[in-house]
Amino acid sequence: MKELALKYGCNPNQKPARIFMQEGELPIQVLNGRPGYINFLDALNSWQLVKELKEATGLPAAASFKHVSPAGAAVGLPLSDVLKKIYFVEGMELTPLATAYVRARGADRMSSYGDFVALSEECDACTARLISREVSDGVIAPGYSPEALEILKGKRKGSYNVIAIDPAYRPAPVEHKDVFGITFEQGRNEVKLDESLLTNLVTQQKEFPDEAKRDLLIALITLKYTQSNSVCFAKDGQAIGVGAGQQSRIHCTRLAGNKADLWHLRQHPKVLELPFKDGIKRPDRDNTIDVYLSDDDMDVLADGNWENYFTRRPEPLTREEKRAWLDQVTGVSLGSDAFFPFGDNIERAHRSGVSYIAQPGGSIRDDHVIETCDKYGIAMAFTGVRLFHH
């Protein structure tokens, strides 16, 4: 099949729409549903991400995409009891691929609502069951077990989008994009992201533990497929905060840092013990937890709305308690798709427990950025590789 007609493009008024190959056959097969223009953008970007994560780490990988940027990306490392609880998978069977999916979907559950999923290897029944219970638009993988495919075909009243991609497919080395009737051409970004990029440590602290190297690679590979400007916080084998598409680097860092903070705060004992009523659905729990953790929105629960969700009024988590909890956080890795122009990014990163940084370097203020890292004992590598993605 050389082309596939689509219902419409980014918006319903944008017709006609299709995907097609100039030469050869499409490397994808739609096994169920009718994916749209944005679905395919998410699917093809996310597939590249998980494919590279698997190659870089040797572990099964998964990603959760929304509007052509990842909400989460992860590899299949075992989950702690606390993570099982905040990801709503206590007592469930978890294969390595399923664990990667749970991590990717759980990093930023609000942003992942209605996502497109990518899996680095054949989808097994365990992973399919977990996907089937979440609000999602579709999934792309190199294959599906018969049981997994049947499970996914039953999702969304039979309309769930299931795409298989040929894992051996290699695109042409030059790619094209039309904007306003003008065709842009460039070589594909084939830069290989591996530990060799983490050797130029420019700070006084010059040690990256193996776990930090793994997490930094996860952050960098995630950034390679995130709309720029972008910054990614990673820990424990997964992205925990992605700041995408901001015009200012500090806003990227703040956005990603705030998401990382929420990931850590969701593990606070007061959040784990929130007295939810039976029958409250997971998306409603996610939204309520987000409100509970927001200094601006907590009054919404205090005004009596708590009765809609809880068996009793929850004890507030004060700003002082949040700060004390976050001040204990260390060992977070941070990647940036371009250089940090000012030390304020490092100051913000430090507040979210960042201990390790990988960024291209090359700012006229590199000395100030390095000095700020040294102030907090942060180890930083200059990769020399920019990862803009548009």
CB contact set of 272 (below 8 Å; sequence gap of 6+): 82, 85, 86
DSSP state of 360: -
What are 145-201's pLDDT values in tens digits?
A: 999 999 999 999 999 999 999 999 999 999 999 999 999 999 999 999 999 999 999
* Residue spans of beta strands (DSSP E) within 76-181: 115-119, 136-141, 161-165, 174-179
**pLDDT cut 70: percent of the chain above it:** 97
What are 5-55's pLDDT values in tens digits?
A: 999 999 999 999 999 998 899 999 999 999 999 999 999 999 999 999 999
What integer pLDDT is reported at residue 355 of this predicted model? 98
CA distances to 48, 100, 110, 139 from 53, rounded to whole Å, are: 9, 11, 23, 17
If you search the block for the tokens 């990256």, which residue do you land on?
Answer: 208
Cα–Cα distance, 265 to 270 (Å, whole number): 9
The DSSP-derived string for 265-307 is: HTTSHHHHT--BPTT--HHHHHHHHHHHH-TTTHHHHHTTGGG
Rounded to the nearest 5 degrees, what angle is found at the Cα of 161, between the Cα atoms of 157 and 167?
150
- Tell me: pLDDT of 300 over 70: no
What's the residue count for the chain?
Answer: 390
The count of other CB atoms within 10 Å of the CB of residue 295 is 10
Domain boundaries, the chain: 3-170, 193-265+329-382, 271-316
Cα–Cα distance, 310 to 288 (Å, whole number): 10
What integer pLDDT is reported at residue 1 of this predicted model? 82
Is the Cβ–Cβ distance between 355 and 203 less than 8 Å? no
What integer pLDDT is reported at residue 202 of this predicted model? 97
DSSP state of 365: T
Would you tell me the crossing angle of helices 249-265 and 319-326 to the nearest 10 degrees? 100
- Tell me: pLDDT of 297 over 70: no
Nearest to 224 by CA among 17, 51, 26: 51
Question: Which residues, in sequence order, are bridge partners of residue 191?
Answer: none
Catalytic residues: 66-67, 229, 390
| Single-letter amino acid, residue 362 | G
Nearest to 193 by CA among 228, 229, 224, 170: 224
What are 200-244's pLDDT values in tens digits?
A: 999 999 999 999 999 999 999 999 999 999 999 999 999 999 999
Q: pTM score, two decimals? A: 0.95
What are 55-82's pLDDT values in tens digits?
A: 999 999 999 999 999 999 999 999 999 9
- Tell me: pLDDT of 3 over 60: yes
Cα–Cα distance, 274 to 290 (Å, whole number): 12
CATH code, residues 193-265+329-382: 3.40.140.20
What integer pLDDT is reported at residue 298 of this predicted model? 56
Q: CATH 3.40.1180.10: does it fit domain 3-170? A: no
What integer pLDDT is reported at residue 145 of this predicted model? 98
Question: Where residue 336 falls among pLDDT bands split at 50, 70, 90?
Answer: very high
Q: Do 3-170 and 193-265+329-382 show the same overall fold? A: yes
Question: Where residue 378 falls among pLDDT bands split at 50, 70, 90?
Answer: very high
- Tell me: pLDDT of 84 over 90: yes
- Tell me: pLDDT of 296 over 70: no
Cα–Cα distance, 239 to 102 (Å, whole number): 12
